[in-house]
Amino acid sequence: MDLASDFVPPTIEWFALSPYIALVAGALVLLLGSLTPQWPRGWYGLVSATSAGVSGVLAALQFVDLSEEAPRTLVRGTLAHDRFGLLALIAICLAVVFTSMTTVDAASGRTNVADGTSRSTSDSLEHYALLLTAALGAAIMVTANDLVVSFLGIETLSLSLYVLAASDRRRAASQEAGLKYFILGGFASAFLLYGIALVYGTTGQTSMTGIANILASEVSVPRNDAMLLAGVALLLVGFGFKVSLVPFHSWTPDVYHGAPTHVTGFMASLGKVAAVVSLVRLFVVAFPTRADDWRPAVFALAALTLAVGSVLAIVQSDVKRMLAYSSISHAGFMLVGLEAAGRVGSSSANDGVSSALVYVVLYSVLAIGSFAAVSVVSGGGADGSSGNTLTSLDAFNGVAKTNPVFALGFTVLLLAQAGVPLTSGFVAKFGVIRAAVSTESYVLAVLAMVSAVIAAYLYLRIMVSMWLSEPVSGGVSPAASPVLSLSSRVTLACAVAITLMLGVLPTWLLDISDSLTTFAR
């Protein structure tokens, strides 16, 4: 028997795969740069930002094309080509562009203590290559239509983030953050892999579409699917670690605080998009017939995440830890959308899908902008001795008196995270709460609104420090006079502009929301 003659290769749609190819090409160019002399400062960041920008533009073109075309799968059904995944892919590329610019900033403000030169570990080609490989893993996650492919994307993203978190070799806190992230991330990956194995053992499928078809066509009498439910539970636990859901959130504050600030913003933005979008796609596409089983668990996780994240955030004294717990609270809001999507019998269930996606995309911009502002105040990073004080709340005292424009921009981002009207944060929060109310999940809707009010105090504390407090004399005086480079100004200006534009004119988002719920199957 001639196996070669029986093999039928999959049809490859190269243009549809072009966003992934652009990310791979950029990473390869950077890695090949190791064979050349040291590039001028900023060139590594330029290659990284350009590659991600090209990938984002290609994804945007395909997003527009899908307004007239039906969603479909690629490469034998392993990747989904739909607007749901492409919008997330655009947000991922935007996160890489902004992070590349803030990384150049962080590198330019650091000095190598060993030889006195101005090169830093952040200003290396490996650092920017890891940004692109992380983006590639995230891109695969948000469009994967197969559990094995999704797991490969998760591991590609996770391994890149482990190294990035520990990339500041001069700070013990960065090394500790990378180690904690690696150990707990390894446990999360084990849960995911066991969950995939149990689901495959039950259904004989790893394709999300195939799993859905099997579960929809088979009815066990008596209902005896304990192995399947155990697999679904393990998958939820694994993604709970990646999304930072309570009680799987313990790594988040320490890792966010210890990692370099620009890396923290990258994790909060790109990592959250990849994990949440992948989680929503998995449960909505693969397990809609088991929604009555997994929706109560999602309800409990959302309620715990909202309560714990918002309450613990307001008692922190370090801004990075404040924003870390804030990101946990935001994950709870995203899960409110998934819980609404799980009410399959409701006519408004699709609103939960679109609201969760819109929320995580808008939050990714807020996270990048907020942590870029923190990076500016802390001078692009701190040495091992003063790393805590440069991101403490006192470091922001009097910032508005020395740089009111910067303080105003950061204030807009904080108000958006609080959900103040005329900002993108209000659009995001209103969307998930409206979806919860429409699907009669009133308890979760009320809890989300109360959590938003509690979390508002957190952002108010930072604003009071900037606008009403005096700088601490003899303390962290450099932080009270933030100096913005061109790349910092562009990053913050773009984040603020997107926040205000989508808050004042959310029509575009509302118009495309219906198309976001049509999955490629």
pLDDT of residue 392: 83
CA distance 48 to 30: 8
Average pLDDT over residues 469-476: 61
Task: Annotate 306-326 with b (16+ C-beta within 10 A) or e (fewer).
Answer: bbbbbebbbebebbbbbbbbb
**Is residue 385's pLDDT more than 50?**
no
Average pLDDT over residues 444-470: 91
pLDDT of residue 487: 81
121 versus 250: the higher-pLDDT residue is 250
CA distance 340 to 81: 24
Average pLDDT over residues 456-469: 90
Share of the chain above pLDDT 70, in %: 89
Task: For helices 226-243 and 272-281, give the axis angle rounded to 10 degrees.
Answer: 160
Secondary structure string (H, E, C) spanning 123-185: CCHHHHHHHHHHHHHHHHHHHECEHHHHHHHHHHHHHHHHHHHCCCCCCHHHHHHHHHHHHHH
User: DSSP assignment, residue 10?
Assistant: P
C-alpha distance from residue 81 to each of 324, 331, 443, 479, 519 (Å): 32, 25, 35, 45, 8
Task: Annotate 386-422 with b (16+ C-beta within 10 A) or e (fewer).
Answer: bbbbbbbbbbbbbbbbebeebbebbbbbbbbbbbbee
Average pLDDT over residues 338-342: 91
Query: Which of 63-77, 212-226, 267-281 shows the lowest per-residue confidence on average (mean pLDDT)?
Result: 212-226
**Is residue 302's pLDDT more than 50?**
yes
78 is written with which tokens?
């392993």
Tokens 């992948």 found at: 278
| Cβ pair 169, 196 in contact under 8 A | no
CA distance 513 to 201: 36
Q: What are the sequence ranges of the domains in the chain?
A: 15-285+294-380+389-517
CA distance 324 to 251: 10
Tell me which H or E stretch contains 73. Answer: strand 72-74
Cis peptide before 478 (omega within 30 of 0): no
pLDDT of residue 220: 58
Query: Which of 213-217, 272-276, 319-323, 420-424 shows the lowest per-residue confidence on average (mean pLDDT)?
Result: 213-217
pLDDT of residue 123: 63
**Is residue 389's pLDDT more than 80?**
no
Average pLDDT over residues 419-440: 92
**Is residue 520's pLDDT more than 50?**
yes
Rounded to the nearest 5 degrees, what angle is found at the Cα of 252, between the Cα atoms of 248 and 258? 150
**Is residue 27's pLDDT more than 90?**
yes
pLDDT of residue 113: 34
Residue 6 confidence class, pLDDT cut points 50, 70, 90? low
Bridge partners (DSSP) of residue 73 are 80
- The whole-angstrom distance between residue 485's C-alpha and the CA centroid of its chain comes to 25
**Is residue 375's pLDDT more than 90?**
no
- The whole-angstrom distance between residue 17's C-alpha and the CA centroid of its chain comes to 22
| Cβ pair 104, 487 in contact under 8 A | yes
Tell me which H or E stretch contains 5. Answer: helix 3-6
**Is residue 351's pLDDT more than 70?**
yes
Q: Which of 170, 201, 163, 206 is nearest to 185 (CA)?
A: 163
The 10s digit of each residue's pLDDT in 307-318 is 999 999 988 888
User: 3-state DSSP: the chain helix, strand, coil percent, rounded to 5?
Assistant: 75, 0, 25
- Tell how many helices (H) and how many strands (E) occur in the chain: 21, 2
- The whole-angstrom distance between residue 388's C-alpha and the CA centroid of its chain comes to 24
The average confidence (pLDDT) of the chain is 86
User: DSSP assignment, residue 484?
Assistant: -
